[in-house]
Amino acid sequence: MDREKMDKIEIASKTGDPLTSVADGLVVGVWEDGRMAQDFRKRLDGALGGEVSRILENGEFKGTSNDVFFLPTMGKLPVRYVILAGLGSREKTTPELIRRISGTVARAARSRNLASLASTLVSNQDGDAENLSEAIVEGTLLSLYRFDQYKSTDKDKKEKGKKSGPSSRDLASLQIFSSREAEKKVRKGIEWAHAIVRGTYLARDLGNHPANVATPSMIARTASVECEKRGIRFVSYDREKLEEMGLGALVGVAKGSMEPARLIQLEYRPSKAANVRPVLLVGKTLTFDSGGISLKPAEKMETMKGDMSGGAAVLGTMTAIADLGIPLWVVGLMPATENMPSGTANKPGDVLRAFNGKTIEVINTDAEGRLILADALSWGVKKFDPALVIDLATLTGAVTVALGAHAIGVLGNDQKRMTEVLETGEKVGERGWQLPLFEEYFEQIKSPIADVQNVGGRGAGTITAAAFLSHFVEGKPWVHLDIAGTAWVESDEPYKPKGNVGIGIRLLTHYLGTLAEDKDLRKPEKRDSRKK
Ligand code: BES
Ligand code: MG
Ligand code: ZN
Average pLDDT on 279-283 reads 99
What's the 368 CA to ligand 3 centre distance in angstroms? 6
Q: Is 398 in the pocket of ligand 1 (CB under 6 A)?
A: yes
Average pLDDT on 127-154 reads 94
Cα 4 to its chain centre, rounded Å, is: 19
Q: What fold does the segment set 210-522 form as a domain?
A: Aminopeptidase (3.40.630)
Give the span between the Cα atoms of 42 and 294, in whole angstroms: 66
Closest C-alpha among 155, 169, 166 to residue 112: 169
What's the 475 CA to ligand 3 centre distance in angstroms? 25
User: What confidence category does residue 158 fall into, taking pLDDT thresholds of 50, 70 and 90?
Assistant: low
Q: What does the pLDDT look like over 347-402, one tens digit per residue?
A: 999 999 999 999 999 999 999 999 999 999 999 999 999 999 999 999 999 999 99
Instruction: Return the best residue to mutate from 285, 294, 305, 307 for the ligand 1 pocket (most ligand atoms within 8 A of CB).
Output: 307
DSSP-derived secondary structure letter, 150: T
Give the span between the Cα atoms of 425 and 508, in whole angstroms: 9
Between residues 531 and 227, which one has the greater pLDDT? 227
Percent helix / strand / coil, the chain, rounded to 5: 40, 20, 40
Q: Catalytic: which of 370, 417, 427, 506?
A: 370
Q: Among 151-155, 226-230, 286-290, which stretch is predicted with the lowest mean pLDDT?
A: 151-155
Give the span between the Cα atoms of 132 and 97, in whole angstroms: 10
What's the confidence (pLDDT) of residue 139?
A: 98
What's the confidence (pLDDT) of residue 248?
A: 98
Give the span between the Cα atoms of 18 and 36, in whole angstroms: 14
Give the domain ranges of the chain.
3-147+173-178, 210-522
What's the confidence (pLDDT) of residue 526?
A: 54
Q: Does 286 have pLDDT greater than 90? A: yes
Q: Is 251 in the pocket of ligand 1 (CB under 6 A)?
A: no
**β-strands 173-177, 10-14: how paired?**
parallel
**Catalytic residue flag (residue 370):** yes
Ligand 1, residue 284: give the atom nearest the CA.
1
Give the span between the Cα atoms of 351 and 294, in whole angstroms: 15
Q: What does the pLDDT look like over 204-257, one tens digit per residue?
A: 999 999 999 999 999 999 999 999 999 999 999 999 999 999 999 999 999 999
Domain 3-147+173-178, CATH number (from 3.40.190.10, 3.30.450.20, 3.40.220.10, 1.10.3720.10): 3.40.220.10
What's the 428 CA to ligand 2 centre distance in angstroms? 29
Q: Is 369 in the pocket of ligand 1 (CB under 6 A)?
A: yes
Q: At what angle do helices 309-324 and 183-208 cross, to 10 degrees?
A: 150
**Catalytic residue flag (residue 262):** no
Ligand 1, residue 369: give the atom nearest the CA.
11
pTM (predicted TM-score): 0.96
Q: What does the pLDDT look like over 467-501, one tens digit per residue?
A: 999 999 999 999 999 999 999 999 999 999 999 99
What's the 422 CA to ligand 1 centre distance in angstroms? 23
Q: Among 165-179, 198-212, 279-293, 327-341, which stretch is predicted with the lowest mean pLDDT?
A: 165-179
What's the confidence (pLDDT) of residue 532?
A: 39
Q: Is 363 in the pocket of ligand 1 (CB under 6 A)?
A: no
